[in-house]
Structure 1
Amino acid sequence: MQQLIDTCIARRQQLASQLAPGIVIIPTTQEIIRNADTHYPFRFDSGFYYLTGFTEPDAVLVQIIGENKTENILFCRPKDEEREIWDGFRYGPAAAARTFGFDAAYPLDELDTRMIELMQNQPRIYYPLAKEMRWDRNINRWLTAVRAMARTGVSAPGSIIDVRSVLDEMRLIKDSFEAGILRQAGSINAHAHIRAMQFAKPGQFEYQVEAEMLHDYYRQGSRSPAYNSIVASGANACCLHYGDNNARMNDGDLLLIDAGCELHGYASDITRTFPVNGRFTPEQKAVYEIVLAAQYAAFEHCQPGKLWNEIHDAATRVLAQGMLDLGLLTGSLDEVLETGSYRQFYMHRTGHWMGLDVHDVGAYKVEGNWRTLQPGMVLTVEPGFYIRPAANVPKAFENIGVRIEDDVLITELGHDNLNVECPKTVAEIEAVMAAGK
């Protein structure tokens, strides 16, 4: 806990050092009704948590950045013993300020009054602009109130700047504290995928395999998945964001599982594809090994100094050649790449940033150019090959869908695969499944 708090204090200092004087306003999320009086599980705003470590709903971080001093203020729910009987522990402002290292903290019901005071004579506002309409309205209301004081000599902020232009860049480069959590999340997820491999068999439903993974996440200390799991057998594996997870798995099907756990707010994101009966058919093996070769080719470009798009280009080149080798496409490799005909079987990019959000923040291009990889970046590498029935598809290859995904940390010397414990060669998968049976 103390390491998290110290890290968040340092992040707030880093953010302030990159901004000109003004007021920073970063709210977290609120509890949302699912139906009747039942709420969706609460999950804090990632940017707010990154700077505070505070996990309660309905809180706001305010930074007052001066020429020589920065003040960090938290607004949060008041201490309320009656509500705590029903809903659980609350820090309250006094304990939150002491515990999380704020200069001051106030109850949320004072927000309107104090924000009008805090905005006075500030040159600019930093805020996640247009992220949530409710907070846009709040900012406008407070700003209007401050402007109305002009005759008293009070000046209002002259500009509103999206704080995410700086905050997202900070979040893109993971520190050692974050890397440790991501590595642990990757290990938890790897073992859950192994459990799925050893559990799955023909005749089960996809959701039964999903339940085994969720059980293993909770058993290992992850309290929630990082996103809605994709557990897709047979033809369902050719639907990129399949989410029903309710089909019966048949003998001879491949099962594609794209699932991740969340640990202390940080995501893991692994995809594995394996035969429900434990043995790849020759056609499934051929497609699978092309995808695996594409991932290995992409890994070669996961190192400092490489450009983001080189990862995708390397994977796509291997996949396109594999499509030609299988007779699914015709022409030369250059023709297939130039015309984009490979997109019949591979229609998505090869990865994304990952961190507090599974599709994490950070621009992929800077001033119109693909971003250069740097140590501390974390990204996924996930080539795929999806063969829907079509005139140019032999019957034996119909409805084969394969994706292989790992999470990669860029290091000074190259990269670390955060999911190295999760088997993925044909031989490894078949051996793990045989041992499970």
Structure 2
Amino acid sequence: MKTKLIPPQEIFVARRFALVKRVRAISENSIVILNTAPEVARNRDNEYAYRHDSDFYYLTGFTEPEAFLVIQTIGDKTTTHLFCRPKDLEREIWDGIRLGPEAAPEELGIDYAYSIADLDTKMPELMTGFDQVFTRNHTNELMDEYLRKWTGELAKKSRLGISKPSVFQDVECLIHDMRLFKDESEIATMQQAAWISSQAHLAAMKRSKPGLKEYHLEAEILYTFRNHGSESVAYNSIVATGENACVLHYRAADSILKDGDLCLIDAGCELLGYASDITRTFPVNGKFSPAQAQAYNLVLAAQEAAIAKCKVGESFQAPHDAALEVLTKGLFEMGILNQQQHGSIESAIENKAYQPYYMHRTSHWLGMDVHDVGSYRELNDPNKAWRTLQPNMILTVEPGLYFRPSKEIPKEYWNIGIRIEDDVVITTGEPLILSRDVPVTVSEIEAWMAQSS
């Protein structure tokens, strides 16, 4: 299939120039060098399904492997170059159509394009005369190897008056701060991804009944993702029934769904390079027990308190603090924490008395990667304050409670694992929840499952 540009070419061109503006603020004589992700072997003569590098796609819209982007900036002049696989009829018969360097400039809005076979010959030439290189600093072994090779070639020509770059800057921090703020097309794509993921969660709830295995529900999820046009999962799906729900990164396996148990599903699709991330917990038989409903409603109240803090001007930490307060108070009310041992709610939070039952954070950034890029702390702040939430940031809100059998826990709560997760856009008004096409309250979940049975 021919490489497609979604969204339009102009958006990728604008992103490149936005990056150049940030680079120029540091140096007006610089070259940006970025490579995409390599293909990865799964086993003999077989590769994992290829997934492009997120930063590379963000700047180019190009999804083929073996590609390099080069941006030269001198004063107010900018020139862009792309290295990519050449057209090759024999390889295209086996592996699919390539865009090729001849079509790349017009298709991608790039000034010049070359065969990847010319990379080592051409790159020293393109680097000549530039003071600073903006690249991934020491996080990409392949790029490090190339840079040593290219600067070594330039060093050999020093007697000819040719100088090599002397400063290597981190380009990731610049790109990642850009990616933290989503534009309209990105938000629309993530809204659609969340809708598809919601349909998958609905399908899994509908299929659920005692006697099935976790992988049966996973199959419903995967089918729904692909049936609605998603390219892939955004991460390995979690389908965890009973005690397995207390294992945070559990993978769907062959455990049997039992009457009276809960099932926790954490699953999201990837659409056009963007992730969704939704978690719901529901009763296998369609009806919460009193203890399950109590624990579930506590987690839901914590999520509601956290979402209420997803507003401009609040810190990234604020939703987590709000969730902790609700959860810790609830743990006292359930008799799991007690005043004699743990003191006040504030003291219990300070001493992390909640941690055996809630051991992860409430939020993370969401975007092209499920744990998306962007600093959680204020940039250039010597005090490292938490990042202030601003419009068009997107984060998850996912409090949970996990009760393994223990003498500190009343028996009716044993093996209850609950997490509720939604995707939230920071706006100038109320938070926009992208993922509420799937039920979230006890009554909504029970009504859907009763309707589906």
What band does the TM-score fall into relative to the shorter chain? Answer: over 0.9
Match of 2:264 among 256, 278, 293: 256
The equivalent position to 2:30 in structure 1, one of 22, 35, 46, is 22
Deviations along 1:197-224, one digit per CA (max 9) or x if unpaired, are 1111111110110000100011110021
Q: Does 1:404 align with 2:439?
A: no
Aligned residue among 3, 12, 15 for 1:11: 15
Summarize the alignment of residues 18-417 of structure 1 with structure 2, pairs less than 5 Å apart. 18-19=22-23, 20=27, 21-331=29-339, 332-366=344-378, 367=381, 368-417=384-433
1:313, CA displacement in angstroms? Answer: 0.2
Deviating more after overlay: 399-408 vs 237-246: 237-246
Q: State the Cα distance separating 1:393 from its structure 2 match.
A: 0.9
Contact 2:424 2:431 in 1 (8 A): yes
Partner SS state of residue 250, structure 1: coil
CA contact (8 A) 1:295 1:383 kept: yes
Instruction: Give the 3-state SS of the residue equivalent to 1:16 in structure 2.
Output: helix
Shift of 1:2: 6.4
In the TM superposition, residue 311 of structure 1 has moved relative to its aligned partner by: 0.6
SS of structure 2 residue aligned to 1:70: strand
For 1:177 and 1:338, locate their aligned partners in 2 and report how far apart those are by CA, in whole Å: 41
Contact 1:304 1:414 in 2 (8 A): no
Q: What is the identity, as a one-letter code, of the residue corresponding to 1:324?
A: F
Aligned-pair distance for 1:380? 0.1
Retained in 1: the 8 A contact 2:52–2:64? yes
TM-score, length basis structure 2: 0.95
CA distance in structure 2 between the aligned counterparts of 1:139 and 1:388, rounded to whole angstroms: 51
C-alpha displacement at 1:412, in angstroms? 1.3
Secondary structure of 1:72's counterpart equals: strand
Cα displacement string for residues 386-427 of structure 1 (whole angstroms, at most 9, x for unaligned residues) = 001111111111010000000001111131000121111000
Following TM superposition, the consecutive aligned residue runs of length 4 or more in structure 1 with deviations greater than 6 angstroms are none
* Cα distance change of structure 1 residues 87 and 227 upon mapping to structure 2, 3 Å threshold: same
SS in 2 for 1:18: helix
- The alpha carbon displacement at 1:158 in A equals 1.2
Q: Give the Cα–Cα distance (whole angstroms) in 2 for the partners of residues 263 and 180 of structure 1.
A: 11
Letter in 1 for 2:351: T
Aligned to 1:430: 446
| In 2: Cα distance, 1:252 partner to 1:140 partner | 61
CA–CA distance in 2 between the matches of 1:2 and 1:288?
A: 39
Residue 55 of structure 2 aligns to which amino acid in structure 1?
G
Shift of 1:244: 4.4
Aligned equivalents of 2:194 and 2:6: distance in 1?
Answer: 23
Per-residue CA deviations over 1:208-258 (Å, capped at 9, x if unaligned) read 100001000111100210000000000000001011422111111100000
In structure 2, the CA distance between the partners of 1:221 and 1:123, relative to structure 1 (3 Å rule), is same
Aligned-pair CA distance for 1:66: 1.2
SS at match of 1:71: strand
Counterpart-to-counterpart distance in 2, 1:128 and 1:266: 22
Cα distance in 2 for residues equivalent to 1:58 and 1:325: 57
**Alignment deviations for residues 306-361 of structure 1 (CA, whole Å, 9 cap, x no partner):** 01101100001000011110000112212211211110100000010000000000
Q: Any conservation in 1 of the 2:312–2:390 contact (CA below 8 Å)?
A: yes
TM-score (norm 1): 0.99
SS in 2 for 1:247: coil
Distance in 1, matches of 2:71 and 2:430, equals 37
How many equivalent pairs are there?
Answer: 437
When structure 1 is superposed on structure 2, of 378-387 and 14-23 the one drifting more is: 14-23
CA contact (8 A) 1:381 1:405 kept: yes
In structure 1, how many angstroms separate the alpha carbons of the residues matched to 2:434 and 2:136?
A: 31
| 2:223 aligned counterpart, secondary structure | helix
Structure 1, unaligned stretches of length 5 or more? none
Secondary structure, aligned partner of 2:137 = coil
Distance 2:361 2:203 in 1: 28
CA contact (8 A) 2:246 2:417 kept: yes
1-structure distance, mates of 2:148, 2:295: 55
Whole-Å Cα distance in 2 between the matches of residues 130 and 433 of structure 1? 51
For 1:238 and 1:5, how far apart are their aligned partners in 2? 45
How far off is 1:97 after superposition? 1.6
SS of the aligned residue for 2:355 comes to: helix
Q: Using the alignment, how far apart are the partners of 2:215 and 2:332 within structure 1? A: 35
Alpha-carbon RMSD across the aligned residues, in angstroms, is 0.9
Distance 1:213 1:129, change over 3 A: same
Take 1:163 and 1:246, find their aligned partners in 2: how far apart are those partners? 44
Which amino acid is the alignment partner of residue 405 of structure 1?
E
- Aligned identity (percent) is 49
Given that 2:233 and 2:269 are in contact with CA atoms closer than 8 Å, whether structure 1 keeps it comes out as yes
Gaps of 5+ in 2: none
Once residues 193 and 351 of structure 1 are traced to their aligned partners in structure 2, the CA distance between those partners, rounded to angstroms, is 20
Deviation, 1:131, is 2.0
Q: Is the 8 A contact 1:230 1:245 kept in 2?
A: no
Matches of 2:325 and 2:183, distance apart in 1? 33
